[in-house]
Amino acid sequence: VTGGSGAIGAAICRQLAGDGFAVIVHANRNLDAAEQLAADLRAEGREAEAVQFDVTDATATKTALDKLLETGPIQVLVNNAGIHDDAVFPGMSAEQWHRVIDVSLGGFFNVTQPLTMPMIRTRWGRIITISSIAAITGNRGQVNYSAAKAGMIGFTKALAQEGASKGITVNCVCPGYIDTEMVAAVPEEVLKKIIAGIPVGRLGKAEEIASTVSFLASDGSGF
C-alpha cells in the first residue's frame, strides 16, 4: 500500500491486514508512522512490514521493489500515495504542476511497472488506485491534481484491458471528501459549502474507502 503512512493508506493497511493479507506499509518521509502501524498490526497477530521510498525516484523505487520481490510476487498493489499543491491556474508554478503529476502519475508508473510481470506469472492480481472525485468533476485551484487523478483513470482503464485475460483486475476508487488532514486544511467556510453539497451530509471516513478497496482486492471482484 503506497502512502500507508498517511490517513487513507493506514486505514487500507488495517483493513487488508484484517482480511488476512501480509501487508507492506509504504512511506516516504514518515517511515516512523509506517513502522508503528506495521508493529501495531503484528501485535494484533497480523503480518506486516514497513518500507520507504520516494515514488518519484524510479531507481530507488525499483531497487526497493526488487528487494521485496525476492520473497515472492506482490499480488495486490494499492497505489494510494498522492499529494496536492493547490493554486488557481494563473498563479500555478511549473514546480507545482510537475510535483503533483510526478507523485500521482509518475509514481503510479514507477511502482506498478516492476510489479506487473511477477503478478502476471501467477495469473492472479489486483491493482487498485486511489484517484479522486476531482478527476471527474474538476476542482477549482486543482488543475494539476485533477489532471493527475484523471490520468490515473485512463491508465487504469487501459491496464485493465491488458490484465483481464491474465487474472488481474485493475480498478480506481475516486473518493469524495474524506475526513483527513488533507481536508482539514480547507478553510471552514469552504468546507461548510462542500459538506452542503455531499448527499449524505458529511465527510467520508477513511475506513469507508478501505472497505471498497477490500472488496476490489478480493476474489469476489474477479469480473
Catalytic site positions: 145
Question: What minimum distance in Å lies between the beta carbon of 182 and ligand NDP?
Answer: 4
- Judged by CB under 6 A, does residue 60 bind ligand NDP? no
- Judged by CB under 6 A, does residue 106 bind ligand NDP? no
CA distance 214 to 73: 19
Indicate which single residue of 115, 178, 210, 213 sits in contact with ligand NDP (rule: CB under 6 A): 178
Indicate which single residue of 23, 83, 143, 210 sits in contact with ligand NDP (rule: CB under 6 A): 83
Beta carbon nearer to ligand NDP, 87 or 182: 182
Q: Helix %, strand %, coil % for the chain, to 5?
A: 55, 15, 30
Question: What minimum distance in Å lies between the beta carbon of 179 and ligand NDP?
Answer: 8
Beta carbon nearer to ligand NDP, 120 or 147: 147
Indicate which single residue of 22, 175, 211, 212 sits in contact with ligand NDP (rule: CB under 6 A): 175
Q: CA dist 188 to 182, 183, 184, 191, 206, Å?
A: 13, 10, 8, 5, 20
CA distance 117 to 66: 12
Neighbouring C-alpha atoms within 13 Å toward the C-beta of 162? 12
Question: What minimum distance in Å lies between the beta carbon of 209 and ligand NDP?
Answer: 7
Q: Which of 169, 172, 158, 159 is nearest to 213 (CA)?
A: 172
Residues 109-148 that bind ligand NDP (CB under 6 A): 130, 132
Residue carrying C-alpha cell 499529494: 83
Helix (H) or strand (E) holding 116, with range, is: helix 107-122
Question: What minimum distance in Å lies between the beta carbon of 25 and ligand NDP?
Answer: 9
Indicate which single residue of 27, 50, 119, 216 sits in contact with ligand NDP (rule: CB under 6 A): 27
The answer to whether the CB of 144 falls within 8 A of the CB of 92 is yes
Binding site for ligand NDP (CB under 6 A): 2-3, 5-9, 27-30, 54-56, 80-83, 103, 107, 130, 132, 175, 177-178, 180-183
